[in-house]
Amino acid sequence: MPKIFLTGCAGFIGSHTSEMLLNQGYHVIGIDNFDPFYARTLKEDNLKILLNFPNFTFIEGDITDSALLDTLPGDIDTVVHLAAKTGVRTSIADPLGYFKANVTGTQTILGWMQRNGIKKMVFASSSSIYGNNIKVPFSESDNVDEQISPYAAAKRAAELINHVYHHLYGINIINLRFFTVFGPRQRPDLAIRKFVESIRDNKPVTLFGDGTSSRDYTYVADIVQGIFSAVEYLNNHERVFEIINLGNSSPISLAEMVNVIYDVMGSKPDIQYQPMQEGDVNQTFADIEKAKRLLNYHPSTSFKLGIQNFVKWYGQQLKTKQISG
């Protein structure tokens, strides 16, 4: 089976995607630098699952390290580039760090691909690129000139550099714009995980804004299916450069999200309202017609089922940690 180089393999989406590709028989070479944005131990837990596969190889390292990339095997077929400094709000305090990892990192990977004749890449872009787009649903043909955080601007810059490498060197690229991904192994900074933790600890839940802001929450298995379809699309087509939304096309308000979590967990904590945070957009809502057409992408996990799966996974994690002391 072809070799895939997957960046950010120890992260939330990266570990799920690697697992799926490994189960499909691909050889995955994964890289991760354990960026300190959240605990290394959580990423090591994700990695442990991947290390059980004989067709998985792990490299601890940084995607901006061109010399390290040059030591990789010469027969890599496709790059699935998911590594990034994540988090919209935190990018405001560290714009240079975000540009280094997310823009220079992408540029470094493209340069290495060009030198080594690697012709296929799936890239993790983001719905945050749409900024405070008024028109819904957000479509790939909408204007995307007005990002409102360094994270979002860096993702857009990476999409643009990807196009340059497609144009100049014929690298075939699919930019997938993910819409708020959730599910087991979810990053600790994301709202769903924070709310579940607060409810478990009987602490008040902090909501930013008045509860009407909304997100097009997309279950991680649906996103992974979309990434896999993009890999297969590149295997079967010539001269590809696409931007494709991967969302659920069914936005949920913050207030609704909290109600579903209460419902699943069976307890209702105090809510403390705080003003909207800088960098946060008001709404996201994906038009997924292009993903349906090109990738046969049909997200199938309801928000409630996704939350049930997350809460179940989270409970199991707590039990395992208590047992192992």
Ligand X SMILES: NC(=O)c1ccc[n+]([C@@H]2O[C@H](COP(=O)([O-])OP(=O)(O)OC[C@H]3O[C@@H](n4cnc5c(N)ncnc54)[C@H](O)[C@@H]3O)[C@@H](O)[C@H]2O)c1
Per CB under 6 A, residues contacting ligand X are: 7-8, 10-14, 31-35, 37, 43, 62-64, 82-86, 101, 105, 124, 126, 178, 180-181, 187
Contact 125, 175 (CB under 8 A): yes
CB of 55 to ligand X, least distance (A): 20
Closest CB to ligand X: residue number: 11
Instruction: Tell the smallest beta-carbon distance from residue 267 to ligand X (Å).
Output: 26
Q: How far is the CB of 104 from ligand X (least distance, A)?
A: 9
The minimum distance between CB 135 and ligand X, in angstroms, equals 20
Kindly state the smallest distance separating residue 68's Cβ from ligand X, in Å. Answer: 10
Whole-number Å distance between alpha carbons of 52 and 207: 39
* Nearest residue (CB) to ligand X, 80 versus 269: 80
Burial class for 58, CB neighbours closer than 10 Å (0-12, 13-18, 19+): middle
Task: Clarify whether 314 is annotated catalytic.
Answer: no
Nearer to ligand X, 198 or 248 (CB): 248
The one catalytic residue among 26, 151, 297, 314: 151
Report the residue number, 3 or 16, with the smaller CB distance to ligand X.
Answer: 16
Strand runs labelled E in the chain: 3-7, 27-32, 56-60, 76-81, 120-126, 172-178, 181-182, 205-208, 214-215, 218-219, 241-246, 252-253, 271-274
Tokens of 325: 């002391």
> Which of the 8 DSSP states describes residue 101?
I
Q: What is the length of the chain? A: 325
Cβ 173 to ligand X, closest distance in Å?
A: 14
Q: Where are the beta strands (DSSP E) in 146-196?
A: 172-178, 181-182
177 token code pair: 């714009």
CA distance 56 to 78: 15
Shorter beta-carbon distance to ligand X: residue 72 or 269: 72
Shortest CA distance to 181 belongs to which of 212, 137, 130, 225?
225
Tell me whether residue 158 or residue 269 sits nearer to ligand X (CB atom).
Answer: 158
H-type helices in 201-253, by residue range?
220-236
Tokens of 192: 């769903």
Residue type, 65: D
Would you say 269 or 314 has its CB closer to ligand X?
A: 314
- Catalytic positions are 151
